[in-house]
Amino acid sequence: MTRSAEKIMDFLHSVHPYDTLPQDELVRVAGCFSRSEVPAGTVVYSEGDPIEHVWLIKSGTVEVTDANGALVSMLSPRNSFGERGLLREGRAVTTATTSSDAVLLALPGGELRHMIANFPAFERFFSRGQGLGGKHGRQNDLATLKVADLMARKPVIGALNTTAKEAARLMRDNRISCVPVVKDGVLLGIVTTRDLSARVLAEGRSVDTPLSEIMTPDPLALSPQALGSDILHMMLENRIGHLPVVRDGRLLGMITQTDLTRFQAISSGQLVRDAAVAKSYEDLAPVTGRIPQLLVQLVGAHNAHDVVTRLITDIADTVTRRLLKLAEEKLGPPPAPYLWAACGSQGRQEQTGVSDQDNCIIIDDSVSPDDMAYYAELARFVSDGLDAAGYFYCPGDMMATNPRWCQPLQVWRRYFSGWINTPSPEAQMLASVMFDLRPIGGQVSLFRDLQEETLAAASRNSIFVAHMISNSVKHTPPLGLLRSFATIRSGEHKNHVDMKLGGVVPVTDLARVYALRGRITAANTRARLLAAEEKGIISVSGARDLIEAYDLIANLRLENQANLVRMGRKPDNFLAPSDLSDFERSHLRDAFVVVRTMQSAVGQMAGTLG
């Protein structure tokens, strides 16, 4: 193997789904890639060009735009692009342009087709709507979204006897441009700022005029099942900017031109681009402040949960890398190479609308004791910036600002060796967190060797594996008796279930154990489950059941968060089973049963290992 192919193979170890390939196949595929250094501003391909390769970004960034020049995606290292045109139309359906100097790896189309045909992980990855480097093509398709996924919940309303003055104040205080007139939940009319101007001010009427005299009665309205295209057509045809959403005459919400404009302006690619050019960490908060609305759009477009969380995590990655760049501009170049790595949900690429920060710094062993102050300052700058951007400080202090988690590589080697050889309860907890590490910025090679050594040592230590298995079944699904749920009994979240601790965390813990046993380098939960199936760590039927259960749980969690955002609330992880249909409740409970069954099977395994 040439030195170039060897470097490509090392890089592919950190890229899914290449990280699932058998070693001999990975060696072969690495030799099929060609490497090129591409200056910023280079058009890799234009819409309509024949596509013969799929590209993988090793460094730099690439913008993907549609036929109108609108940004579809901003891609970064480890993202691939070009596969949509290659696998579907044979010609490019977008335009890809390097937005910074980049190193691109090109794989012939025949090789990609070969792997899709022979390796299930590739077939699943490239058939889940993840063209454009994991970016789902439907995320900004307004025309096909349902009105229910776009409308504002709990609209501000007025009554027949509400005065024009009171209506104007409602609009001002709530920053809205219309007030629907409602009686007993039934929509009777609508008053807009234009009505106040034309029917009150222009005609010299009193500000105490009731809305019953100035409203537009029986306004045009849509059902929640209408599509975004219906909104556009109705607004354009009737030259209106406000549409009530009703069911059986009862007001459910409002759609305005502002809602449509906001929707079109928000995409993961746009947020990534805005974060990448931020001049200070104060500029990042407005970018991440748009994530809840992006969550609503992605969920409303029926994207799979792993696509949604990947796109949201991409934003956090970009914010982190931008903060690292700003820190180096302020502090000067680092005295020794370092790696900033994320663990927790960011490390697994599973961030939702609720995220704290979990991170660490691994420093090259050439660092001197006097140089360590630099990395402490860098950690504080980045961590403070992340907090200002909405990624709040980790309650458990699992951050690079904690000197324990900002250390040279040799110290990290001792950490992992100690956790593996002396698996105390604290060691199990720390190992669980740190086995989800993923490089974000800096010298990736500092992590690669550490990960390979750690996985090899951990998988060989049956006592450590047994302890990790026992630790993985501490969080159990909230199953009650007689097909009911064990809901929270008191407090703010009474009669709810925790979809994080009782839903996704048990699966995440199981996947981590499978990854440990199979020396699987992927950090993402779903990727770990797929790789575990391919390596025979779990049976095909068990893997299929667990993956489908995980998909259902994770999707319901995101849908609940999106609903909370639509209602003007902060997203959280607590779901009331009573809010679900009988069908949904039944399937959620079945999913919990699958997870509990898999936990039992793994728990029995621990007894044979310990």
In this structure, the chain runs to a length of: 610
Could you tell me the CA-to-CA distances from 571 to 30, 287, 524, 562 in Å, in that order?
42, 17, 22, 7
Task: Looking at mean pLDDT, say which of 194-198, 234-238, 428-432, 445-449 comes out highest.
Answer: 194-198
The mean pLDDT of 31-37, rounded to a whole number, is: 94
pLDDT at residue 228 above 90? no
Unique residue bearing structure tokens 């109705």: 234
Q: What's the pLDDT at 269?
A: 73
Give CA 85 to chain center in angstroms. 24
Q: Are 69 and 122 in contact (CB under 8 A)?
A: no
Judged by phi (left if over 0) then psi (alpha if -120 to 50, else beta), residue 249 lies in left
Task: Give the model's confidence band at 232: pLDDT under 50 very low, under 70 low, under 90 confident, else very high.
Answer: confident
Span 190-201, average pLDDT: 94
pLDDT(135) > 60? no
* Tokens, residue 371: 């140089």
Q: What is the pLDDT of residues 84-129, one digit of tens each?
A: 777 666 788 788 999 888 999 999 998 998 888 888 777 766 754 4
Q: Which CATH number fits domain 461-610: 1.10.8, 1.20.120, 1.10.3470, 1.10.10?
A: 1.20.120
pLDDT score at 67: 66
Delimit the CATH 2.60.120.10 region(s) of the chain: 3-135
Residues of the chain with CATH 3.10.580.10: 144-260
Q: Where in the chain is the domain with CATH 1.20.120?
A: 461-610
Q: Tell me what pLDDT residue 304 has.
A: 84
Query: Would you state the pLDDT for residue 152?
Result: 63
- Segment 480-504 mean pLDDT: 90
Nearest to 561 by CA among 357, 390, 309: 309
Q: State the pLDDT at residue 145.
A: 72
| Average pLDDT value for residue range 472-493 | 88
Report the range of poorest mean pLDDT among 6-20, 31-45, 262-276. Answer: 262-276
Nearest-angstrom CA–CA distance, 168 and 177:
9
For the cut 50, the answer to whether the pLDDT of residue 543 exceeds it is: yes
Q: Which residues partner with 408 through β-bridges?
A: 363
Burial class of 459 by CB neighbour count within 10 A (0 to 12, 13 to 18, 19+): middle
Question: Distance between CA atoms of 221 and 204, rounded to whole angstroms?
Answer: 30
Any idea what the Cα angle at residue 571 is, between residues 565 and 577, rounded to 5°? 95
Q: Which fold has domain 144-260?
A: CBS-domain (3.10.580)
Q: What is the CATH number of domain 3-135?
A: 2.60.120.10
Burial profile 379-408: b = 16 or more Cβ within 10 angstroms, e = fewer: bebbbebbbbbbbeebeeebbbbeeebbbb
What was the pLDDT predicted at 133? 34
> What is the Rg, in whole angstroms, of the alpha carbon atoms belonging to the chain?
26
Q: Are 43 and 36 in contact (CB under 8 A)?
A: no
Q: What is the pLDDT of residue 137?
A: 40
pLDDT score of 134: 36
Examine the pLDDT at 377 and tell me if it is beyond 60. Answer: yes
Residue carrying the six token digits 């995320």? 139
